[in-house]
Structure 1
């Protein structure tokens, strides 16, 4: 019986620059916490080894402190950890891996597979790794798996990072290719893959584990690891996904046209919780009253959720006559409002929209001051 925990794409040290500073910091920290959860799961389930199929680090340039923090996060499991470079942390002559060794961060129970050669792990299986030694390759680094004689009598487990040909979307099916059917052709008991950030079954013996902490707005079944049980020689692995992620990333694309469309977005924003990361992309048209409602809901959601990213670049403001009357935009000011509304169809629509909003806010504030002094 072989028991494994398969994970990949930790990308420790990733900087979430598109988010506000406090949100980016929380997302950065969550990746260390995910490794701690992996260690706890491995210890609780008593697995023979944890396999990490590439992209352990996000970049070669991560700080020494980040390297040390990662290996500290792994200390909750004292069994074998098998780490392999991917395209983000390739095994260059001088790399994040050589630095980790130089500063003495790597524990004795951690196997770093920096070369394509067989390794016997925990006395239970022979690992065949295909580490990347450069960011992109155009040859199949797993091809040698089928040439290794099985003289030790142990089951063989493959570990690779790349794109299984004909399985993943065509736009990413180029660099770091892996032949479909590699597990069967090479006589592997299991092939643990990384690179695709979601959990994905390729065949009975070949799986992508995905990243253990979701890191992008894509519904790809991420935030998990895979518990693998192989009962006996030739047996089909039993694969059990286990939840490891903390944050729930969601993406909402919505076209606004009428008041009820705005209300629908507001309802979603009002339902946000502390572990939610939401991106909203709105397009279409919205009046000033609706935009005020959206802005208020966004402000409230940003205070409740972990992060909210708003993209209204394609949202056109269409003030109604009621909007203009409520702003008391008579005469010249009213004409400016109408002109800005028209200019949203011109060459610089975002500037016109922002100017329209700024003018509306000024008129709004003036109206509230007048009302307070009445």
Structure 2
């Protein structure tokens, strides 16, 4: 029986450029802590090897303390660590992988070429196949024409940064047919940060590792890695284990009926109070519902009023709609009423984006018609 830890897409030394200098550094160091925790987890779970399916680093510039921490983590684990460089950390002459200054421990094995190759571990009866990105793109599948990669007396797995979702991808478009033809036990994939469920292609189970630590609102919740058990050449278990220490989260607060920011803030505070672990949460809160036509939520003011809720960071978005039952505007024979009646179908029946744009247009138009500034609109971002 083999037990493998499958991870990737750490994007160490991400700049977090939307944060201030202090918090950017906090998050950068946080990513390093998560990586160190993953390597400790591999030891705790008695994994036979670690598969890192690309994008361990975010770019070619890597801080010296990150390199030192990575080397210590690899050496501390002691067992085989296999890396398939991805489009963010390709194997090039100037990369960390080829640097003479970075003397890696002997248990680290890094693929160096776009051509499919393998590392063999006789003591584990394990063969790990893979390849490296050597630039920020790889517009062909390294598995094309490879056929069966199964070997007698060996458990075969693939460790790869690949896109099996889009056949026209510029990021190693490996196909389900190629995975099935490989006859490998497991394909440990990286690149898709919010992955689908594991899939079976022929005898091959293929899965993406997902993100270990979220870096933005497109990566929500606490990150995780996979511990994969393979017995007699068959995947018998894939266990997801949380490793993330910070999360991004979106939530909605219904402020229907609000006529001012005080009422909106009170409703938003009630919604925010239901969210656990605020100190480790970056929250994007959308205020929604039907509000008075004349009222535009001031998102900055509402966010400031929630400062005592203890979130690591908080932003508020306006997703409200004008109260469509406003008969005073529906019956208004002036330009104000005509504007309302013109936009009403879009606000009622349009897509979410069309409703938002129509609502903003109505609010801004009414401001202009009333002689008020349209620049103090606190509405949608």
Instruction: Please classify the TM superposition score into its range, dividing by the shorter chain length.
Output: 0.7 to 0.9
Q: Note the alpha carbon deviations across 1:283-333, whole angstroms, 9 max, x for none.
A: 7868489869724433224xx222223445x78999xxxxxxxxxxxxxxx
Match of 1:189 in 2: 185
Distance 1:352 1:39, change over 3 A: same
Distance 1:345 1:165, change over 3 A: farther
Distance 1:45 1:258, change over 3 A: same
Q: Note the alpha carbon deviations across 1:79-116, whole angstroms, 9 max, x for none.
A: 111112001011123223223xx113411211112233
Out of 172, 177, 181, the position equivalent to 2:173 is 177
Q: Are 1:309 and 2:315 an aligned pair? A: yes
Match of 1:54 in 2: 54
Q: Are 1:212 and 2:200 an aligned pair? A: no
Match of 2:108 in 1: 110
Structure 2 counterpart SS, 1:32? helix
Alignment of 1:101-140 (within 5 A): 102-115=100-113, 116-121=116-121, 123-124=123-124, 125-140=126-141
Distance (whole Å) between structure 2 residues aligned to residue 17 and residue 220 of structure 1? 18
Distance (whole Å) between structure 1 residues aligned to residue 180 and residue 321 of structure 2? 55
Match of 1:276 in 2: 281
Structure 2 counterpart SS, 1:107? coil
CA contact (8 A) 1:130 1:142 kept: no
Distance (whole Å) between structure 2 residues aligned to residue 231 and residue 67 of structure 1? 35
Distance (whole Å) between structure 2 residues aligned to residue 184 and residue 21 of structure 1? 47
Question: TM-score, normalization: structure 2?
Answer: 0.73
CA contact (8 A) 2:222 2:243 kept: no
Distance (whole Å) between structure 1 residues aligned to residue 80 and residue 41 of structure 2? 13
Q: Note the alpha carbon deviations across 1:229-267, whole angstroms, 9 max, x for none.
A: 11113x233111111111121023567552266543222
Distance (whole Å) between structure 2 residues aligned to residue 155 and residue 343 of structure 1? 70
Match of 1:353 in 2: 377
Match of 1:266 in 2: 269
Question: TM-score, normalization: structure 1?
Answer: 0.74
* Aligned CA-pair RMSD: 3.6
CA contact (8 A) 2:190 2:208 kept: yes
Distance (whole Å) between structure 2 residues aligned to residue 344 and residue 134 of structure 1? 55
Give the C-alpha shift of residue 198 in structure 1.
3.0
Which ranges in structure 2 are unaligned for 5 or more consecutive residues? 324-362
Alignment of 1:153-164 (within 5 A): 153-164=153-164
Distance (whole Å) between structure 2 residues aligned to residue 51 and residue 178 of structure 1? 18
Give the C-alpha shift of residue 179 in structure 1.
0.4
Match of 2:151 in 1: 150
Distance (whole Å) between structure 2 residues aligned to residue 211 and residue 155 of structure 1? 26
Structure 1 counterpart SS, 2:36? helix
Distance (whole Å) between structure 2 residues aligned to residue 89 and residue 262 of structure 1? 44
Match of 1:335 in 2: none
Distance (whole Å) between structure 2 residues aligned to residue 295 and residue 230 of structure 1? 49
Distance (whole Å) between structure 1 residues aligned to residue 92 and residue 228 of structure 2? 30
Distance 1:290 1:18, change over 3 A: closer
Give the C-alpha shift of residue 192 in structure 1.
0.2
Distance 1:255 1:176, change over 3 A: farther
Which ranges in structure 1 are unaligned for 5 or more consecutive residues? 319-337, 357-374
CA contact (8 A) 1:12 1:58 kept: yes
Distance (whole Å) between structure 1 residues aligned to residue 254 and residue 171 of structure 2? 36
Q: Note the alpha carbon deviations across 1:161-203, whole angstroms, 9 max, x for none.
A: 121136xxx9x95543110143321010110000011353341
Q: Are 1:64 and 2:61 an aligned pair? A: no
